[in-house]
Structure 1
Amino acid sequence: MHYVIGIDVSKATSQVAVTVDGKVTQHFKITHDVLGFNQLNTIIMQFNEFPDIVFEATGIYSRRLKSFLDWHNYPYTYLNPLAAKKQLDQLRPNKNDLNDAKNLAETQFILARAKSYVQNPIYIELQDMSRFYQQINHDIVSTKNRLHRILQLTFPEIEGLFSATDSPHYWELLTIVPHAIITRRSRQALMDTIHGGISWHIGHERLRKLVDQLMSMGQISAPAVAANSYNVAQVIYYAKRLIELHGPKCDILTAMVDKAKDLPEYSIYQSIPGFSDKTVVSLIAELGDLHRFRTANKLNAFVGIDLRFNDSGDYKSTGFITKRGNSTARKVLFRAISNIASTASYGHPSHINDWYQKKKQSSLSKGTKKIAIGAMSRLLRTMHYLVINHQLYDYKAASKH
């Protein structure tokens, strides 16, 4: 006999349909807690063999069900929502949670979906850390933009004090000198104020030069608001907020490296020219265990750079990427191509950069973004091959293919 359990996952509950040889024998609702999972476990254990368990990935809401099944080592099929929609569209004349659970179970007898590859939990943990890292980074970018806008009212010239405006030293200085009027004190008074207010060490000569620069900027600055304007308080608030965000951002990256360094992919990815620790751990987190992808094309589709074509009559399109996959992974890969190109100019060649530069120089190729997407595809194929075959990157060997 063939047993299938279809589960339609909602926020706090799931509809469960139990089918035997294509016929629904039970249907019930479970809660996503100990009581509900014990109820599901009792049903599963009543069979002589493990039933097929099929459910859709519904983001954070399906994580508890998935963790329960992993904990008990129950095999299951974890469906991509888009794939599930395509499979069930013809069977959903009356769509509701119960029918969805029933349809998931009944179509398993027809489609015989393969069991999902169960990754080491460390990959899931790394992905959660990566998403938190991306969230903090997004907050930093938003706060920097707000700070830039307010500085245009109080002291815009100060943005040229350092080579970059993403340094904690710069932000800390803004909490002390948020308005141009402050620089119009005596040199010694300004030096004493800065020296007593900063947490980082600075030599007397460096401090003197810094103060001279600030005073020079302050003399030519024409603020749009007075020194007692509430906009000054906003500058201080945003500068302190950036300092607060910077620490956790660095801590998360360090923790990700500590967790990932013992995984086999870590040393493999590090062997690719242009890959920093940040790139390595970000790609491990976002791509997960590459062994679950049978081919590199599957990996391309997961990332969302697989091609689609809209041809009609005599019109032949050049193709476009679907963008249906992991958008964070696409961003990391796009930056990785830039890093690979930069590294090659410093004596660390790669066949990815060779192809990238050749296409850029070709008069037939139009659009560097499309070329970068092509380079990303080749990079993913390389990464997949290296991981599957447990090999480090070798430029000479890669150039032959």
Structure 2
Amino acid sequence: QVAVAVDGKVVQNFKITHDVFGFNQLNSVIMQFNTFPDIVFEATGVYSIRLKTFLEVHNYPYTYLNPLTAKKQLDQLRPNKNDLNDAKHLAETQFILKRAKSYVQNPIYIGLQDMSRFYQQLNHDIVSAKNRLHRLLQLTFPEIETLFSTTDSQQYWEIVSLIPHATMAKHSRQTLSDTIQSSVSRQIGVARLTRLVDKLVALGSLSAPAVAVASYNVTKVRYYAQRLIELSQSKTNVLATMVDQTKDLPEYDIYQSIPGFS
């Protein structure tokens, strides 16, 4: 909803769509002014981003209002809150409040913020998948969690995906060795592989799983093990991209100099 005010009075009121047609319509109104008009709008999550992008592409200064700020400014003026009244009151009060223009951020920082949010989401998904895998392994092969000193490595998840149930650890040592060596992403030395298989067999013989090897829980164990591999690789890739894009920025060396940050 758009309201156009001149000298404190609304002279136009119309709706636009958030597409090329709607933005061209808005652009034609803006271009009627001899100087850039004050453009004020509320932030409405992802829905206002397209409008914000349109304004930045055309180098139009704007004021991007936090919804809470807008609420405080307009609460006394809009007892009947709706899009039409909100647009009207934003336009009229601009002549009184003379809101400052919003800072237009360098696109590289916006991209980094998006990557940072995705990185945090990947961390959240990894923790969630780890918890689910742990619960499932209590049914199929809990002892395998002691195979390595940590349950965070890609190699561990690869072996869990290959041997998701204790019964599968009771194959011949040669079969287990061949299966692991041919399937893991990084080759394992012969001596280390022998120790690994010996421990796997010992853990398998010790285990008393709660479900049979044909249980669907075994399929779920494989799924979450593979999911963790994919999530971990995505996290590594995002971090590498972030480092590559930031290393030439002026802040990079400053942050790297802070103990713990690097």
TM category (shorter chain) comes to over 0.9
1:178 partnered with 2:164: yes
Show the counterpart of 1:108: 94
SS at match of 2:260: coil
The 1-side partners of 2:7 and 2:238 are apart by 49
Show the counterpart of 1:370: none
SS at match of 1:49: coil
Aligned to 2:176, which of 190, 203, 206?
Answer: 190
- Offset of residue 32 of structure 1: 0.8
Amino acid at match of 2:192: R
Show the counterpart of 1:72: 58
Moved over 4 A (4+): none
Q: How many matched pairs?
A: 262
- Residue pairs, 1:122-137, within 5 angstroms: 122-137=108-123
The 1-side partners of 2:246 and 2:74 are apart by 38
State the TM-score, normalized to the length of structure 1. Answer: 0.63
Show the counterpart of 1:244: 230
Identify which of structures 1 and 2 has the higher relative contact order when contacts are C-alpha pairs closer than 8 Å and 6+ apart.
Answer: 2
Sequence identity of aligned pairs in percent? 74
Show the counterpart of 2:11: 25
Show the counterpart of 1:40: 26
Show the counterpart of 2:242: 256
- Residue pairs, 1:236-385, within 5 angstroms: 236-276=222-262
1:117 partnered with 2:103: yes
State the TM-score, normalized to the length of structure 2. Answer: 0.96
* 1:306-331, Cα deviation, whole Å (9 max, x unpaired): xxxxxxxxxxxxxxxxxxxxxxxxxx
Amino acid at match of 1:37: F
The 1-side partners of 2:15 and 2:88 are apart by 12
* 1:368-397, Cα deviation, whole Å (9 max, x unpaired): xxxxxxxxxxxxxxxxxxxxxxxxxxxxxx
Structural RMSD (CA): 1.3
The 2-side partners of 1:233 and 1:202 are apart by 26
Amino acid at match of 1:88: L
- Offset of residue 187 of structure 1: 2.4
The 2-side partners of 1:162 and 1:92 are apart by 63
Larger radius of gyration: 2
SS at match of 2:221: helix
The 2-side partners of 1:83 and 1:270 are apart by 36
- Offset of residue 186 of structure 1: 2.7
- Offset of residue 219 of structure 1: 2.0
SS at match of 1:26: strand
The 1-side partners of 2:34 and 2:181 are apart by 75
The 1-side partners of 2:54 and 2:251 are apart by 27
